[in-house]
Amino acid sequence: MRIFLIVFIYINISVSGMVLAADTHVDPHWTYHEQYKWNLLIDRLYSPPYPYAECGIGQKQSPINIDSNDLDFTNDLDEIKIEYGKVPISLTNNGHTVRVNISQGLLYIGKYKYQLVQVHFHSPSEHTINGKHYPIEAHFINGIDDGGLAVVGVFYEIGMFNPEFDKILKEAPKANNMTITKDDFIDLNKLLPHNTEDFYTYFGSLTTPPCSEGIQWLLLKETVPISIDQIEEFKTKYYQNNVRKEQKLNGRKIDTH
């Protein structure tokens, strides 16, 4: 199955804080506690006044639960290839998550090439596997020239200490709306599992306003170990429960590779 993305997204979208618009524009304020009202957010840059209505009326929203007993096994599903590597440390606390700002990195889905633009984290995981939440879920956001987005989701669970994740914990700003850069690097490969070839995939949406649909989700099956102390540090120092509630499938099928 050839994976091809056609995404209609507001020019000024916010991908968990990544603003693709003029610096003078400020996105509407929102919280996870009031996610039931995201569809009513007003952004005066747009007309009609409710550009985030998709958060309430969208039929292909994310996150979802992955039921391993209800999957499509498609033989001709496109393979993925991840080429991320090391990136300079640039970390932002945007009031909703901790974000790694990216200047390089590629994702290939079949013959299509995507540019990695950022990584951010949710605790606990937004997606669930057979109803199970993982302690942390990372979202690697990738874009293509036609405006399409593909998100690689990675689940973190209790295991060994992870030195690269610790760099994020030690360097990311505690205060909201701040960015810190350091003369050092984060090896993104150490934030990925060894096996990146096995994944679940479906079409969904951004999990934050404007909840734009048409997003290709690629949820890696193998998890990444981090220590319980690192999990607790992220939750106490930064964020816990920065998750959107589970969304309905509405007839969508989940493919597996």
Active-site annotation, residues: 96
Return the DSSP state at 124: S
Please enumerate in sequence order all residues whose Cβ is within 8 A of that of 250, keeping only pairs 6 or more positions apart, or say none. 59, 60
Sign of the C-alpha dihedral computed for residues 122, 53, 149 and 147 taken in this order: negative
SS3 content of the chain, % helix, strand, coil (to 5): 15, 35, 50
Please enumerate in sequence order all residues whose Cβ is within 8 A of that of 153, keeping only pairs 6 or more positions apart, or say none. 127, 137, 138, 139, 140, 217, 218, 219, 220
Q: Classify burial at 209, counting beta carbons within 10 Å of its beta carbon; exposed 0-12, middle 13-18, buried 19 or more.
A: buried
145: left (phi over 0), alpha (psi -120 to 50) or beta: alpha
Q: Give, to the nearest 10 degrees, the angle between helix 228-237 and helix 163-171.
A: 20
Are the C-beta atoms of residues 221 and 199 closer than 8 Å to each other?
yes
Are the C-beta atoms of residues 174 and 238 closer than 8 Å to each other?
yes
Are the C-beta atoms of residues 114 and 3 closer than 8 Å to each other?
no
